[in-house]
Amino acid sequence: MKIKENMPIMLFDNQCYLCMKFAKFVNFFARDKITMVGHYSDFGIKIRNEILDEFALEMFWFIDKKRASGGRAALYPLVKSILSKKTKKSATIKMGEECQQDCKTVKAVFVRSSSLLTNSRKIDLK
């Protein structure tokens, strides 16, 4: 699967319960305009190797043709893409619901939510 053909892409932790819920929420409101990809899927690994850096697994990413934005920096382009009038149907990668971490606790909710606001990264694409 080619990366550029599937943009925009939201890359998220598909082994975390909270991240899965966030991805399903985004997918519902995006109405299939954004390709949803798990960090640990084959396509997610390809994206991490070709586009992202060593901080890839620390946050969710929104990738469009110009830039890969992670964490807090990804919120604005993600919302902008959801609200856009473009009706391009994108491929949705199956989201496995295997929680490999203890993410249903109050502490985990706080830690994941705070990491969303504290982590931020932008990578310009060539």
Whether the pLDDT of residue 99 is over 90: the answer is no
Domain coordinates of the chain in residue numbers? 4-124
Within a 10 A sphere around the Cβ of 98, how many other Cβ atoms? 12
* Cβ atoms 43, 91 nearer than 8 A: no
Single pTM value for the model? 0.82
Give the tens place of pLDDT for each residue, 2-56.
888 888 999 998 888 888 888 999 999 998 889 999 999 999 999 999 999 888 8
pLDDT band, very low/low/confident/very high, at 79 (cuts 50, 70, 90): very high
pLDDT, residue 98, reads 58
